[in-house]
Amino acid sequence: MVADPRVKDVGETRTEFLFDIVVDLDPPLDFGRGPSGRRMLFGSAGGRFEGPELRGDVLRGGGDWALFRSGGTMALDVRLALRTDDGALIHMTYGGRFTTPPELGAEMADPAGRHRVDPSRYYFRTNPLFETGAERYAWLNDIVCVGSGYFVECGIAYKVAQVA
C-alpha cells in the first residue's frame, strides 16, 4: 500500500483521568417502539462525580433519552446538570453506545442484578462534552472526553477521561 503524503503522524491518542461519576436513576419511562426504535427515558435522580480537578453533585432532572435500535445496540442521548462543591454549574452532554451480547440479554434485563455483570462483557462507551460559564472551570468548554460505562446498584457509572 502506498502512503498518502498528506497524512501526518500526530502521535498516539492519549487520555488523562478526569473524574468518576455515578448517576442514580429514576424508574424508566417507556415511550414504546417508534419509527427509529424503542425510546426510553432514564431520568437522573441525582448522583456524585469526583476527580482531581473537580467534584460535586449530579442534579435531578437530566437523563438519557435512549433509543434501542433493532440490532440490539442502545444509542445514548444524555444531558446532565452538575454542580461542583464550590457552587459552579456545568452542563454535561454525551452520546454513546451500549451493546450487550445476546447471551447477556436476560442478566442485563434484570435491573436488580445487572450491576453484578462484569463490564468487560459488554460495550458501554460515551463521548462527554461540557459547557459552563464558571470562569474556574472554563477549560472544560474546550476539551473532548471519552467515558467507559458500567452499571451500579440503582444507576450507572462512568470513568471519564480527557483526550489529551
Reported pTM: 0.92
For the cut 60, the answer to whether the pLDDT of residue 1 exceeds it is no
Q: What is the pLDDT of residues 13-42, one digit of tens each?
A: 999 999 999 999 999 999 999 999 999 999
d(CA 46, CA 59): 5
CB 80 within 8 A of CB 92: yes
pLDDT band of 105, cuts 50, 70, 90: confident
Q: What is the pLDDT of residues 115-147, one digit of tens each?
A: 999 999 999 999 999 999 999 999 999 999 999
Q: Please, what is the average pLDDT of the chain? A: 95
For 83-135, give the secondary structure using H, E and C. EECCCCEEEEEEEEEEECCHHHHHHHHCCCCHHHCCHHHCEEEECCEEECCCH
For the cut 80, the answer to whether the pLDDT of residue 2 exceeds it is no
Percent of the chain having pLDDT more than 90? Answer: 87
Top pLDDT among 132 and 10 is at 132
